[in-house]
Amino acid sequence: MTLCVGEKEYEASWSGNAVAARVAEEIPTGNALVLGIGNVLLGDDGAGVKLVERLRSELGAEAATFIDGGTIGFALLSYVEATDSMLVVDAAELDSTPGTVALFEGSAMDRLLASVRRRTVHEVGLIDLLAMARFQDCLPSRRALLCIQPARIVWSDALSAPVEAAFCGAIEQARALLERWRVG
């Protein structure tokens, strides 16, 4: 089977082990992982992936390891294992106005993900991915979840106007967080 992560293609087994060693070698030591989650064919659900593309473009590829995580999978564990700083970007139900941006760091991220109410369609996959990282004792010590309130999740490759307009503020929050992690 072929596995696509970001712009790279790998031959992989179902366990993903064939990918893990090669992926870890590609991540510069100390580089933050910026992981965009979402389905770009479902309108605002693709906000995480599209925002990570924009972050890579505006901050430069050397600012972090930028990954299109799609709708998430366990093959992403090798990226999580290789970093101590991880920013996950996703569309999420925040019970707020469409385009609202919220950042949850460390224990706040953990509490959000542990809450009974699911806020993103990818949350279960993210919870499982982080649980595997905890089990392997490689959960990033610095982790955050940057969320954007969607307006609509429908068959479309376009973002709604409020979500698109929220990208400037989301980029600034991501930039400030990555800079703080780089200095700290």
Q: Which residue has the tokens 């979402």?
A: 38
| CB 23, CB 60: distance < 8 Å | no
Q: Which two tokens stand for residue 123?
A: 């949350």
The bridge status of strand 2-5 relative to strand 8-11 is antiparallel
pLDDT tens for each residue of 102-137:
999 999 998 888 875 655 555 557 888 888 899 999
Residue 8's pLDDT is 57
Q: Kindly report the pTM of this predicted structure.
A: 0.81
Residue 25's pLDDT is 57
Residue 126's pLDDT is 84
Residue 21 above 50 pLDDT? no
Residue 5 above 60 pLDDT? no
115: three-class secondary structure by DSSP:
coil
Alpha-carbon gap, residue 98 to 100, rounded angstroms: 6
pLDDT tens for each residue of 48-102:
999 999 999 999 999 999 999 887 777 889 999 999 999 999 999 889 999 999 9
Residue 73's pLDDT is 72
